[in-house]
Structure 1
Amino acid sequence: MADRFRRTALVSAFLVAAALALVAFGLTAIPDATTATAQAAEPRAGAAHLGHKMAPAVPVAFGDDPDGDGYIPANPPVTGVVPSTEIPPHRYFHEFQANCSVSHTRPDDPIVYPGQPGASHDHTFMGNTTTAANSTTASLNGGGTACLAPGDKSAYWMPTLYKGNQEIRPIGPQTIYYKSGVTDYRTVRPFPKGLRFVVGSPTQSAEQFRNHPGWVEGWECGNQYNNTEFPATCPTSADVQLNLRFQAPSCWDGKYLDTPNHQSHMAYPVAQGANQDVCPTSHPVALPMIEFKMAWPVNGDMSQVRLASGTGHSFHYDFFNAWDDATLNALVRHCVVGALQCDARGYDQTHPEAGAALNADYELP
């Protein structure tokens, strides 16, 4: 462990020196942090996503990472898990929703640039109302929430969208699905407190975005679907919005709550046979698969629409788990493991006999 820390420190020092040299010569070097396959390489310092200051992030000592090496160990780690290859009883759905509204925007990123206010491009924050550069697991636990379920104090964020210089925020609760990403939905367990990761990368190419394992439908509006970039125009109608769905990796290594590139501790399920998805042996722990389903109230001429991170193919998002453990466990057990299609209360209208996981106030009964 000590040797790894020394290696990480040397690599970090080298990256800082290299970045300064590149700036001095008017150059930039932005690494790509996209984890497209389950066979993730050993994390490397500085492989994080692009900030508006055009410099790679280097792990620093702050909050949950006091030694500053970029690794946040799980305490305790999850060991002895073997990915399930069993075929469970067939059910079409195994999911619930976290309906969370936008609370604020700011140029912060507590995962990539922890403790560094203003170091990132602008982000739109949903869920926890206190999310900022200085956020930690403890501070999020003590914060408020813009989610329907008071027990969901998690932080969700994505690059802010603009039309020209006008900031466009999603209106009302947005749909964040918690699904099973593996065929054996019975093996899905709740997120560990403090788990965090980045989905996608602002430095990814258009092709990488299009072929990303998290791709669902791309950019959509009106009758336009599966766009890698923003459509040139969208029907001018009050009910037409710009939409996007994108899925996160759902297999965890069981060892780290974060790694230097904010992705290597997570992986997407891999196909086994024709109709089965399982976690890879390197990341054997099946967690809920988060799926963003976002809607922005913008239409008409879309030529001036952009993200704070760049063009449409630079879309990415971040997740920092701060759920109340008992609440998340109840929803995962009732809806995902129980193979239901639940709303934010954990209620499936097609199976009323199953009841709900939460009461009318979205809290544990």
Structure 2
Amino acid sequence: MNARAKPVPVLLIAVALLAALLGVGSTAMASGPDTAKAATDTAASGHEGHTMAVSALPSGDDPDGDGYIPANPPVTGVTPSDREPAPRYFHEFQANCDVTHTAPDDPIVYPSQPGSSHDHTFMGNTTTNAHSTTGSLYGGRTTCKAPGDSSAYWMPSLFNGDRKVLPTGPQVIYYKAGVTDYTSVRPFPKGLRFVVGSPTQSAAEFRGHPGWVEGWECGDSYRNPDFPSNCPANTQLNIRMQSPSCWDGRYLDTPDHKSHMAYPVVKPGTNNNVCPASHPVAVPMVEFKMAFPVDGDMSRVRLASGTGHSFHYDFFNAWHEPTLAALVEHCVVGGLQCNARGYDETHPGEGAALGPDYRLP
């Protein structure tokens, strides 16, 4: 599949109807050669309330309903950088965003289909719902410290028994370099969206996921693919997971919500992380670091998507372009460890990307 050869919506609908009658998935049949494997994986990862498959419904940013949203303009002529710049231990900034609301909506997987997903906990943009589009999110109200970040972030809601447990306070969402050449990282294109992880991944798949960092942890219990059996009093349940950081330059979304993105690969003969040739554009790695205020007996703790190893998250970019560009350039490309204002306390002489009000000066 390439940018000039998109699936025909009518054919997709017919295939979907035929698949429904036969009781089989149609994603792989509807995909082109370079997305066939991703589509096959998608078809195998269906989940009640959260099936990542081709949408047959025209909606939002995808008026023909084929699941492909082309970048306009696409980014072409990029060669993955294998350069090794001067080492810097950090090249990141934070987007600190409070929880806004919860809802059984997912504007990426189930666009324009309210109530079709399992329950999600949303952060950032206050208006995110099943009908959200790039236009509806962009410039909207946000709970992130930087007003220019009207992006939408969400994950399956956490429950302790029947009680929903929401993270309190600003959650830490890192924007980092995922490649060794941190100077090659560029801002996300407006409207880029993707899903990290899968609600149907097994414990082994979760632990082996390229975005795995530390798994679930609390107290002295670390690297758990599922919830610890008990968390000490007055501790929190924490999870960290990282997104792919290489983009194909062609699509803002694809039918499986993943194949337009890729994780870096190790260059043979080195320890350097580089983008694969199929996804040559280095973009920030989005790392969720969530903290849930729950302790004690964890036997009744679950996610709306199921067990602990069903954890996954979604990102829908609606940053104000100059604000994101300033933070990426100053903190990621500049090799700094920045807060949400783009200020590195250990390098005060470098200044800040944003003013005291977290806006561009």
TM-score (norm 1): 0.91
Given that 2:246 and 2:261 are in contact with CA atoms closer than 8 Å, whether structure 1 keeps it comes out as yes
Runs of 4+ in 1 over 6 A off after TM superposition: 28-32
Is 1:247 the counterpart of 2:242? The answer is: yes
Aligned positions, number: 351
Q: Give the aligned partner of residue 268 of structure 1.
A: 263
Question: In structure 1, what residue type is equivalent to 2:300?
Answer: Q
* 1:106 to partner: Cα distance: 0.1
Given that 2:67 and 2:254 are in contact with CA atoms closer than 8 Å, whether structure 1 keeps it comes out as yes
Is 1:113 the counterpart of 2:115? The answer is: no
Q: Give the aligned partner of residue 314 of structure 1.
A: 310
Question: In structure 1, what residue type is equivalent to 2:167?
Answer: P
Question: In structure 1, what residue type is equivalent to 2:131?
Answer: N
Given that 2:193 and 2:314 are in contact with CA atoms closer than 8 Å, whether structure 1 keeps it comes out as yes
Question: In structure 2, what residue type is equivalent to 1:223?
Answer: D
Whole-angstrom CA distance in 1 between matches of 2:329 and 2:27 = 39
Q: Give the aligned partner of residue 203 of structure 1.
A: 200
Whole-angstrom CA distance in 2 between matches of 1:255 and 1:269 = 17
Whole-angstrom CA distance in 1 between matches of 2:170 and 2:311 = 20
Whole-angstrom CA distance in 2 between matches of 1:186 and 1:201 = 31
Whole-angstrom CA distance in 2 between matches of 1:185 and 1:56 = 31
Question: In structure 1, what residue type is equivalent to 2:323?
Answer: T
Whole-angstrom CA distance in 1 between matches of 2:93 and 2:286 = 10
Instruction: Summarize the alignment of residues 144-159 of structure 1 with structure 2, pairs less than 5 Å apart.
Output: 144-159=141-156
What's the Cα RMSD here? 2.2
TM-score (norm 2): 0.92
Indicate the larger mover: 161-170 or 46-55: 46-55
Cα-to-partner distance string for 1:237-258 (whole Å, 9 max, x where unaligned): 2xx0000000000000000000
Q: Give the aligned partner of residue 122 of structure 1.
A: 119
* 1:326 to partner: Cα distance: 0.3
Is 1:5 the counterpart of 2:2? The answer is: no
Instruction: Summarize the alignment of residues 290-305 of structure 1 with structure 2, pairs less than 5 Å apart.
Output: 290-305=286-301
Given that 2:52 and 2:257 are in contact with CA atoms closer than 8 Å, whether structure 1 keeps it comes out as no
* 1:43 to partner: Cα distance: 5.1
Given that 2:216 and 2:223 are in contact with CA atoms closer than 8 Å, whether structure 1 keeps it comes out as yes
Instruction: Summarize the alignment of residues 40-79 of structure 1 with structure 2, pairs less than 5 Å apart.
Output: 41=36, 44=39, 47=42, 50=46, 52-53=48-49, 57-59=53-55, 60-79=57-76
Instruction: Summarize the alignment of residues 156-195 of structure 1 with structure 2, pairs less than 5 Å apart.
Output: 156-195=153-192
Aligned-partner SS, 1:213:
coil
* 1:58 to partner: Cα distance: 3.5
Is 1:326 the counterpart of 2:322? The answer is: yes
Q: Give the aligned partner of residue 31 of structure 2.
A: none
Cα-to-partner distance string for 1:10-38 (whole Å, 9 max, x where unaligned): 3543334433554xxxxx97999xxxxxx
* 1:52 to partner: Cα distance: 4.5
Q: Give the aligned partner of residue 336 of structure 1.
A: 332
What are structure 1's unaligned runs of at least 5 residues?
23-27, 33-38
Aligned-partner SS, 2:302:
strand
Question: In structure 2, what residue type is equivalent to 1:350?
Answer: T
Given that 1:9 and 1:69 are in contact with CA atoms closer than 8 Å, whether structure 2 keeps it comes out as no
Aligned-partner SS, 2:39:
coil
Cα-to-partner distance string for 1:177-215 (whole Å, 9 max, x where unaligned): 000000000000000000000001101111111100000
- What is the aligned counterpart of 2:353 among 340, 351, 357? 357
Cα-to-partner distance string for 1:51-89 (whole Å, 9 max, x where unaligned): 644766441211110111100000000000000111100
Q: Give the aligned partner of residue 251 of structure 2.
A: 256
* 1:274 to partner: Cα distance: 3.6
Whole-angstrom CA distance in 1 between matches of 2:228 and 2:199 = 19
Aligned-partner SS, 2:258:
coil
Given that 1:96 and 1:343 are in contact with CA atoms closer than 8 Å, whether structure 2 keeps it comes out as yes
Q: Give the aligned partner of residue 36 of structure 1.
A: none
Shift in alpha-carbon separation, 1:151–1:278, aligned structure 2, 3 A: same
Given that 1:29 and 1:56 are in contact with CA atoms closer than 8 Å, whether structure 2 keeps it comes out as no
Given that 1:42 and 1:264 are in contact with CA atoms closer than 8 Å, whether structure 2 keeps it comes out as no
Given that 2:343 and 2:352 are in contact with CA atoms closer than 8 Å, whether structure 1 keeps it comes out as yes
Whole-angstrom CA distance in 1 between matches of 2:25 and 2:219 = 38
